[in-house]
Structure 1
Amino acid sequence: MANGVWHTGYGIEINLSLPDLGHPNRPDLLREITASVSERDPQLLECLAHHDKRECLSESDGKSPWMFIRRGRVGGRRPLVASHLPITHKATPEESAQHKATKERVVATAGRYGLDAEAEVPVANRRSVSDAVVTGPAGLRVGWEIQYHHLSPSSVHRRSVSAMENGITPLWVAKDRTASLIDRAPWARVDDMPWRDIAGGKEMVIRGGYRHLEVWKCVPSSERHCLVSEGAGHCGAIHADWFVPALCLPERKPVLIEDLVLRSATGESVPVYVPSRGSGRAGRHMWVSAADRARWEEIVDEKTPLPTTPVEEDDDVITFAEQEIDRSCRAGEDSWSVSDARPLRDLAEPTGGFTLPSLPPQRPSTSTRITPVERAAASAALGCPPWELGLCAGCTQMMRRYGPNAAMYCNVCRATLNGR
C-alpha cells in the first residue's frame, strides 16, 4: 500500500506514516488531504512514481495517477493509505439494481400513504443528492440514503450534517452488519435481498436500527438481568435500556420498511442518540417511537441532540508506523490493505442503558421527596400512572401505593411481616 503522496498545491511530499505527515508547520494538512474529492481539486494528490517521472502502474493501465486518502485496516492497525482514483467501490449490477429497487419502493410506499415523495433530491447547493425525500403532513422531511456498499464514516457524517442543516432528517439504509454508517447517523438495516424481491413487494423487515425502551425494577422476580451487578444478582434499582423487537419482553412485532416510511414522516418514530457509557463506541443511533424517546428523556433528565460534529470511536484512531516513504507505485495492491474483515457494528445487544438508584431506606417519620426523574422511572417500571406512586409504609421505597390493587407495604415488607 502507498504510504506517501505528492501534494500538487503546496509542492510537498507527504509521509502518511508520520503523525505530522512530515510537515509540523501545517496543522490542517490531514484535514485538507482527507476531504472528499468532491470538495477539492481531484488532481491535488499525485502518485509519487508519476511525479518522479517513473512508471505509474495505474496510468499505464489507462487509469488515473491522481490519488485520495483513506484509512486501511491491517492487523488491528488503522494506517492512512493513498489509493488511486476513482475513489469508489463500483457497485455491481446486482447492487445497483437493489439500490434502485429500494429507492423506488420507498417512494411508492410514501405515495400509497398519501405522503409527498421525490427521488434524487439535490441538497446543499447540489453538493449532494438524497436518494429519496419523504415529506409528512406536518412538513417533516426524511432523507432516505440507500447505501449498499462501503462508505467512509466522514462521508456519512458530512452528508448527514448537510441534510440536517437543510431541514432534512437523514435515514441511512444498509444491508451489511459491518457497514461503517451504522451508528454514525440515524440508520436501518434490511436483509440482503435480490432486487426482484424488493421490487416485487416481498416483506422487508428492519433487522437493525429500530429499538424499544424497556424499564424494569431489578428484583428477583424480574425476567431481566441486573445492569450493574455481576452474575445473577439484583440491586433493587430501576433500569432502563433499549432492545430490538425480538429481545423485548414480551417480544414485539418486527418493523417493516413500509412502517418506517410512514412513521418517520409523521413523527410517530423519531431518531435518538444515546452516548456510550464507557465502551469504545461513541454512542448509538436508533429509531424509536416518539413516546419512548419522551419517556427516555424524562428518565435520564436530559435531551441529547443528534451529533453535528464527528465523534471518534476507538476503531477510528489512526495508526502512525513512522516509516520511510515507499516511492514505488502500488496500484493494484490496494485491496490487501483492507484485508482484515471489518468488525460487526450492528449488534443486537442492549446499549448499556441507564440505572436510577433506588431510594435509601428511611424511617417513616423522615420526609422523602421523590424527584420527577425518579417518579417517571418508577411509573414506567411499575406500570402505573405517576399519581398512583407512593412510599412503602415499611421501607419507604417507591411502590404502587394508590389506585386499584394498591397496598400499604411493598412485597418484601409484606413477606417480612407475614413471616413474623
Structure 2
Amino acid sequence: MANKVLCTSLGIELNLELDDLGHPGMPGLWDFLYEQDRMLGAQRVPVPQRGMQCAGVCRNAGVVAWMYLRELNGRKQAVHERAEDEARHAAPLSDVHKAYQERIIRAAGEDGFHASAEVRTPIGPRQWIQTDALVEGADGRRIGWEVQLSTASAKGPRGVQSRVRKAAAHGITPAWHTDREGYARRNDTQWTFSNQLPARVIAKTGGLRVVSGFRVLDFWFCDVTADLPCPNGQGRCWTRHATPRPRDVLFDDLVRKTAAGLVLPLEFWSGSRIQRFWVPADERDRYYNEFGEFASEQDVQPIAGRGSSAAPTCRPRVTLATSKRVLDWRDQSHWSLEARPCRYCKQPTNLVDDAGRHTHKVCHEAAIEAAAA
C-alpha cells in the first residue's frame, strides 16, 4: 500500500494521509473516486485501466505500478496490483543491493554497453519481467542480472525456476548473483557467488572476485594414459569426457564478458544430474559440439527397471524417457514474442522449452525419443 497516488484521469496526485486528499477545493473527492473504482471492479475492468498509479516509491524507482482503492477500518488505502510492487515499499533495497546494481551498470558502461537498474520489460498486456539490472549487450543479447541477498525459493510462481524460464523465454539471459554460500550449491540457475562485503567495498572500483559459478572445461580421452578416473564408472571407457574446474573471475570482467558473448551459461550433465554454471564461449561451443545438447532433466522421466549388483561403467549422459512423451506447452511461458531458429531444425519458431530455448514442440519430442533409444 502507498500514501501517494496519481489519478491519471484527473491528472492530480492524491495524499491519502489527508482527509481532503490534498485538494480542499474538491469536496467529496474520495467518495467519488472510491465508488468509481468499486464500480469498475464490479464490471471486471482491469486494474491498469482504472487510472490509479503509485506516485511514491515505485515512481521514484522508474516503475509504473497500478493500484486500486479500498477502505479498511475507516482508513483510505490504495493497494498495489502486484505483490512485487507492494514489497518494494515494505522492503527497500539494501545498500549492498544498490551497490551491486551500480557496479553492474558501471562495469557494463566501461565497455560501451548500456545498462539500467530496476527495468520492467513488458511480456504481455498485464505482465512484465522486473530485472535488478538489465545489460544491453552485443548482437542484441540482453543479460538480466538478479542480485539475490535474501531468501529465494526454487519453485513456485515467484520461485527462481519460474523467473528464470520466463526471462529466457523472452530473450533475457538470466544471471543470478548472491553472497549466500548455500546458493552456490544450487542448480536451479547459473548462480555466481562472492563473499559478503559491505556496500562501501562493493561500490569501489577495485577487484571484486566471483569465487563460485564460473568454470573452465578440461577435455580428455578416457584411456589408460588418462590422469583422471572415468567420471561415470570403473576402468576405462575409451571415449571423450569434459571435466569442469572452478576458476575465480573478477565480477566486472564477468559483467562485461557476458554482455559481449565471451562467457555463456552451460548446462553440464554429470551422470544423471545437471549442473549449471558459466564458461568461456569457445568451451561451451566445443562441449555442445562434442557431446550435444540434451533434454533438460525436467523434460524427461526415468523408467522403472530392475536393480543390478554389477559395477557401473561409463554410461551415456542421457535421461531415459517413457515410450512416447507428448509435451504440454499450452502455458504462455512456452511462447516467445520473438521468433528464432529452432535449436534442432533451425527453422523459425516462437515456441520455447522449459529452459527458454527456441524449439518446435515436435522437434523436442523427437529429441527426447532419440535420447531414450
State the TM-score, normalizing by the size of structure 1.
Answer: 0.45
Q: Using the TM superposition, give the Cα deviation of residue 127 of structure 1 relative to its aligned residue in structure 2, in angstroms.
A: 4.2
Q: Which amino acid aligns with 1:192?
A: Q
Give me the whole-angstrom Cα distance separating, in 1, the residues matched to 2:102 and 2:231: 42
Q: Using the TM superposition, give the Cα deviation of residue 178 of structure 1 relative to its aligned residue in structure 2, in angstroms.
A: 1.0
Tell me the SS of whatever aligns to 1:241. strand
Alpha-carbon spacing, 1:162–1:142, altered in 2? closer, same or farther (3 Å) = same
Match of residue 178, structure 1, among 171, 175, 182: 182
Pairing 1:208–2:212 present: yes
1:222-273 CA-to-partner distances (Å, cap 9, x unmatched) read: 443332455xx6555432222212xxxxxxxx31111111111111111111
Pairing 1:161–2:165 present: yes
Q: Using the TM superposition, give the Cα deviation of residue 179 of structure 1 relative to its aligned residue in structure 2, in angstroms.
A: 2.2
Partner of 1:146: 147
Q: Using the TM superposition, give the Cα deviation of residue 87 of structure 1 relative to its aligned residue in structure 2, in angstroms.
A: 8.9
Q: Which amino acid aligns with 1:291?
A: D
Tell me the SS of whatever aligns to 1:138. helix
Alpha-carbon spacing, 1:87–1:128, altered in 2? closer, same or farther (3 Å) = same
Tell me the SS of whatever aligns to 2:243. strand
What percent identity do the matched residue pairs reach? 30
Q: Which amino acid aligns with 1:96?
A: S
Instruction: Kindly indicate which of the two structures has a greater share of residues assigned to strand.
Output: 2
Tell me the SS of whatever aligns to 1:169. strand
Give me the whole-angstrom Cα distance separating, in 1, the residues matched to 2:100 and 2:142: 18
Partner of 2:255: 261
Give me the whole-angstrom Cα distance separating, in 1, the residues matched to 2:256 and 2:168: 19
Pairing 1:195–2:186 present: no
Q: Using the TM superposition, give the Cα deviation of residue 193 of structure 1 relative to its aligned residue in structure 2, in angstroms.
A: 1.2
Q: Using the TM superposition, give the Cα deviation of residue 288 of structure 1 relative to its aligned residue in structure 2, in angstroms.
A: 1.1
Give me the whole-angstrom Cα distance separating, in 2, the residues matched to 1:132 and 1:295: 30
RMSD: 3.4
Give me the whole-angstrom Cα distance separating, in 1, the residues matched to 2:218 and 2:315: 11
Q: How does 1:241-252 map to 2 (within 5 A)?
A: 241-245=243-247
Give me the whole-angstrom Cα distance separating, in 1, the residues matched to 2:244 and 2:276: 11
Match of residue 293, structure 2, among 298, 303, 308: 303
Whichever of the two has the greater Rg, that structure is 1
Q: Using the TM superposition, give the Cα deviation of residue 354 of structure 1 relative to its aligned residue in structure 2, in angstroms.
A: 8.2
Give me the whole-angstrom Cα distance separating, in 2, the residues matched to 1:199 and 1:226: 44
Select between 218-227 and 159-168 the one with higher mean Cα deviation.
218-227
2:100 and 2:202 in contact (8 A); partners too:
yes
Equivalent residues, number? 214
2:136 and 2:259 in contact (8 A); partners too:
yes
1:59-112 CA-to-partner distances (Å, cap 9, x unmatched) read: xxxxxxxxxxxxxxxxxxxxxxxxxxx999x87x9x811111011100011111
Give me the whole-angstrom Cα distance separating, in 2, the residues matched to 1:306 and 1:174: 24
Give me the whole-angstrom Cα distance separating, in 2, the residues matched to 1:234 and 1:160: 38
Alpha-carbon spacing, 1:191–1:106, altered in 2? closer, same or farther (3 Å) = same
Match of residue 112, structure 2, among 114, 118, 139: 114
1:320-369 CA-to-partner distances (Å, cap 9, x unmatched) read: xxxxxxxxxxxxxxxxxxxxxxxxxxxxxxxxx9889xxxxxxxxxxxxx
2:138 and 2:261 in contact (8 A); partners too:
no
Alpha-carbon spacing, 1:311–1:159, altered in 2? closer, same or farther (3 Å) = farther
Tell me the SS of whatever aligns to 1:153. coil
Alpha-carbon spacing, 1:305–1:177, altered in 2? closer, same or farther (3 Å) = farther
Match of residue 99, structure 2, among 95, 98, 101: 101
Q: Which amino acid aligns with 2:246?
A: V
Alpha-carbon spacing, 1:310–1:258, altered in 2? closer, same or farther (3 Å) = farther
Q: How does 1:117-136 map to 2 (within 5 A)?
A: 117-123=115-121, 124=123, 125=126, 127-136=128-137
Q: Using the TM superposition, give the Cα deviation of residue 173 of structure 1 relative to its aligned residue in structure 2, in angstroms.
A: 0.5
State the TM-score, normalizing by the size of structure 2.
Answer: 0.51
Partner of 1:285: 276
Give me the whole-angstrom Cα distance separating, in 1, the residues matched to 2:191 and 2:216: 15
Q: Which amino acid aligns with 1:303?
A: E
Give me the whole-angstrom Cα distance separating, in 2, the residues matched to 1:131 and 1:194: 19
Give me the whole-angstrom Cα distance separating, in 1, the residues matched to 2:245 and 2:315: 13
Tell me the SS of whatever aligns to 2:286. helix
1:7-36 CA-to-partner distances (Å, cap 9, x unmatched) read: xxxxxxxxxxxxxxxxxxxxxxxxxxxxxx
Alpha-carbon spacing, 1:181–1:227, altered in 2? closer, same or farther (3 Å) = closer
Alpha-carbon spacing, 1:87–1:180, altered in 2? closer, same or farther (3 Å) = farther
Q: Which runs of 5+ in 1 are unaligned?
A: 1-85, 246-253, 313-352, 357-420
Give me the whole-angstrom Cα distance separating, in 2, the residues matched to 1:210 and 1:229: 26
Q: Which amino acid aligns with 1:242?
A: P
2:184 and 2:191 in contact (8 A); partners too:
no
Q: How does 1:15-30 map to 2 (within 5 A)?
A: none
